[in-house]
Amino acid sequence: MSDTLQQINDAVITRKRAEIQGLVTRAIEEGIEPKLIIEDGLISAMDVIGKQFSDSDIFVPEMLVSALTMKLGLDSVKPLLKSEDSEPKGTIILGTVKGDIHDIGKNIVKMMLEGSGFEVVDLGVDLTVEKLVEQIDTIRPDILGLSALLTTTMPEMKNTIQELQEKGLREKIKIMVGGAPVSNSFAEEIGADGYGADAAEAVVLARKLIGV
Ligand code: B1M
C-alpha cells in the first residue's frame, strides 16, 4: 500500500479529523485511483475499528468519531466520481432500514451509483415502510436499494418487501439489498431481486436488474 493510503487508513483509525481531507487530496494529487482511496484507505480502516469495538478496545463515541473522519474523507473523493452522462440510466431509491442508523456503506453505494449515471434518491437512515411507500408512489423508481448493518435490523428488509407486496408495489420495482451481515442466500430467502457485497457489485447489479 502507498505511504499516503496507509496514512489515510491510520488517520481514520486514530480519528485525526483535521488531517484526513489533506491526506485524501494528497492521494488524489499523487494520481491514486478514487476506488483505491475508498477501499484501501477508508473502508479497510472501518474493519479495524469494528474489530476494536468487538474487543472492547474502543466504545461507541470513538467509533462515531472514526465514522465522521471517514465521512470527511469520502466527501473529498466524491467530486471525482461524478458521471459525465447527462441522461440518467435509471432511478434508484436508497435507504438504511428502520432501526438502523449506519449509513457509511449506503453513502458509498450512492456515490458509486451516481458516478455510474443513475439518479439516486437517498431516503437516509431508519427508513420506515410508510415513508418508503409514499416515496415509491411519488418517484416511481426502477430500483429500491436497502442497506442494513445490524443482524437485528436485517429482518426489516423482509418486512419491507412483504409490505410492498401487500400494497401492490412489489412487482413495479426491482429490489436490491446489501450491508455487512446480508448475504446472497438471505436476499433470496426474503424475495429480493439481488444482493451486492460492495458498492462496485451494487453498480453491476443495478445495471443488470434494469438491463442498462
Ligand atoms: Co455500529 N455496529 N453500532 N456503529 N458499526 C457494527 C455494524 C458492528 C458489526 C460492530 C461490531 O460489533 N464489531 C455491530 C453490529 C453487530 C451485529 O449486528 N451483529 C455494531 C453495533 C453493535 C452498533 C450499536 C448497536 C452499538 C451500540 O450502540 N451499542 C449501534 C447501533 C445503532 C443503530 O443503528 N441503531 C451502532 C452505532 C454505530 C455508530 C453510530 C457509532 C457508527 C455508524 C456511523 C454511521 O454509519 N454514520 C458505527 C460504525 C461506524 C460501525 C462499524 C465500525 C463500521 C460500519 C461501516 O461503516 N463500515 C461496524 C463494524 C464493521 O462493519 N466492521 C459496526 C464501512 C462500510 C463502508 O461498510 O457498511 O458494510 P458497509 O458497506 C459496504 C457493504 O456492506 C456494501 O457496500 C458498502 C461499501 O463497500 N453495502 C451495500 C452496504 N449497503 C449496501 C446496499 C446495497 C449494496 C451493497 O444495495 C442496496
Q: Which residues pair with 127 in a beta bridge?
A: 97
Measured between alpha carbons, how far is 120 from 135 in angstroms, rounded to an integer?
Answer: 12
Measured between alpha carbons, how far is 211 from 202 in angstroms, rounded to an integer?
Answer: 14
Nearest to 177 by CA among 120, 97, 113: 97
Q: Which of the 8 DSSP states describes residue 57? A: S
Domain architecture of the chain: domains with CATH: 3-85 (1.10.1240.10), 91-210 (3.40.50.280)
Q: Which of the 8 DSSP states describes residue 124? A: -
50 lines ligand 1 (CB under 6 A): yes
Measured between alpha carbons, how far is 167 from 154 in angstroms, rounded to an integer?
Answer: 21
Which position has the grid cell 472492547? Answer: 56
pLDDT at 204 over 80: yes
| pLDDT at residue 131, as a whole number | 97
**Lowest-pLDDT range of 36-45, 83-92, 96-105:** 83-92
Residue-wise pLDDT for 141-159, tens only, equals 999 999 999 999 999 999 9
Cell output for 105 = 456503506
CA of 50 to the centre of ligand 1 (A): 8
Nearest CA, atom 87, ligand 1: 178
Ligand 1 pocket test, candidate residues 39, 68, 81, 102, most atoms within 8 A of CB:
102
Q: What is the largest CA-CA distance in the chain?
A: 53
C-beta separation of 164 from 133 below 8 A: yes
C-beta separation of 7 from 23 below 8 A: yes
Nearest to 69 by CA among 135, 20, 1: 20
pLDDT confidence band for 64 (50 / 70 / 90): very high
| pLDDT at residue 115, as a whole number | 83
pTM, rounded to two decimals: 0.93
More confident residue, 87 or 77: 77
| pLDDT at residue 82, as a whole number | 75
Question: What's the rounded mean pLDDT across residues 186-212?
Answer: 96
Residue-wise pLDDT for 93-140, tens only, equals 999 999 999 999 999 999 989 988 999 999 999 999 999 999 999 999
